[in-house]
Amino acid sequence: MTDFANIKKGLCIGGQQVSLPLIQGGMGVGISLSRLAGSVAGAGGVGVISTAQIGFDQEGWEADPLGTNLKAIGTHVQKARAIMEEKQKQEKYKGRKGMIAANIMVATRFYEKYVREAVKAGVDLIISGAGLPASLPEFVKCSKTKIAPIISSLKAARVILRLWDKKYRRVPDLLIIEGPLAGGHLGFSPESLEHIDMDDYDREILEIIDTARVYGAKYGQKIPVAVAGGIDSAKKVRHYLDMGVDGVQVATRFVTTQECDAPMAYKQAYIRAFKEDIRIVKSPVGMPGRAIYNDFMAKVERGERPAIHCHKCLEKCQPSKIPYCITDALINAAKGDVDHALLFCGANAWKAERIMTVDEVIEELFP
Ligand SMILES: Cc1cc2nc3c(=O)[nH]c(=O)nc-3n(C[C@H](O)[C@H](O)[C@H](O)COP(=O)(O)O)c2cc1C
């Protein structure tokens, strides 16, 4: 039996309450910005802005990507908050509590600067994956900003919990488990993604919840745990809540919404995609990713290498050794040039049939 009380309870993140146990997954580049994040937060969830090349469409970005990106963080946080507050004035959403968060990938060059800028901009929460955010507690010290690492395995959960416990005497405000059906970069080996056993993964989730409970107990705190990856229906939301998870992180379902910041050509690529078009791709970040098979991926597979003009975006990228520039490929996607782009998506993106509103998606997930 579903614990409907769990849905009504919402989600408490580091003492701050949101009305729905829902986090909208951060999506870079330019897919989850202020419009999507503000709309989800206004409905009572956690709206997440991706800071990955967040200033890509601003003047001056080519010459000064770092400075332009940092400036754009403040602009998008302000806009998202304004959208959230406007929506909360509607009768339907009066009294709903949402949160504005930033997704900042650990692999980002100058990660610390991005985190500090997001704190300055007043985000409620910072979510960090694509690497283990070992020093994140230090970067948010003396602020009210909550922090959430994304992990994909029990091993990674243990490493980050132990590290923060020993070094900072604290626990995460939220722990996000990103499973093998997620979109974007994946914390799994390409081999393990060939044979995904979700029952096995559910067992791993239960072990992670137990581990979080032990660390939380040490500090008299409950570490809420959210699960991400392939959650696209009320049935799946219920499945995870019944397992004892506190919230769900959903990304792919929000791409094909009116409010999503992606261009229409990107949204249509999801709607047009068949199941067999969704494949695992090698990314210059050094992790596999999931994307829609297109001309661009076919060229990469054939070893054709587009010209690379380095934007110095990733800490460990070696421009001479990579098959393509991930920033260029993702910016092309964000600009709607979908044939020359990496179209990140979750395993269930092919199920999208039409453009919906954020509210319709949320109503489907939490009927
Ligand atoms: C288009 C797209 C871009 C993404 N970009 C990021 C990102 O920049 N950083 C990150 O941590 N996760 C990223 N993700 C992962 C999502 O935040 C989320 O955890 C995951 O996709 C959830 O699975 P779902 O898409 O099946 O709902 C991305 C996912 C998608 C679909």
**Residue 115 near residue 126 (C-beta atoms within 8 A):** yes
- Rounded CA-CA distance 65/57 in Å is 10
> Which residue's CA is the closest to the ligand 1 atom numbered 4?
27
> Which residue's CA is the closest to the ligand 1 atom numbered 3?
27
CA 336 to chain CA mean position, Å: 20
pLDDT attached to residue 124: 98
Query: For 17-44, how does the pLDDT look when each residue is reduced to its tens digit (9 = 90+)?
Result: 999 999 999 999 999 999 999 999 999 9
Sign of the CA dihedral with 69 first, then 184, 102, and 106 last: negative
The fold of 4-261+352-365 is: TIM Barrel (3.20.20)
| Helix (H) or strand (E) segment spanning residue 176 | strand 175-178
* Amino acid (one-letter) located at 138: E
CA distance to 12, 77, 233, 344, per residue, from 143 (Å): 18, 16, 36, 33
**Residue 314 near residue 285 (C-beta atoms within 8 A):** yes
Quote the mean pLDDT of the chain. 95
Q: Is 20 in the pocket of ligand 1 (CB under 6 A)?
A: no
- Of ligand 1's listed atoms, the one at least distance from the Cα of 129 is 11
pLDDT attached to residue 2: 47
Q: Is 130 in the pocket of ligand 1 (CB under 6 A)?
A: yes
Mutation to probe ligand 1, out of 181, 252, 362 (largest number of atoms < 8 A from CB): 252
- Of ligand 1's listed atoms, the one at least distance from the Cα of 29 is 8
What residue ranges do the domains of the chain occupy? 4-261+352-365, 264-350
Query: Residue 285: pLDDT above 90?
Result: no
Query: For 84-124, how does the pLDDT look when each residue is reduced to its tens digit (9 = 90+)?
Result: 999 999 999 999 999 999 999 999 999 999 999 999 999 99
CA distance to 112, 113, 157, 238, per residue, from 139 (Å): 7, 9, 20, 35
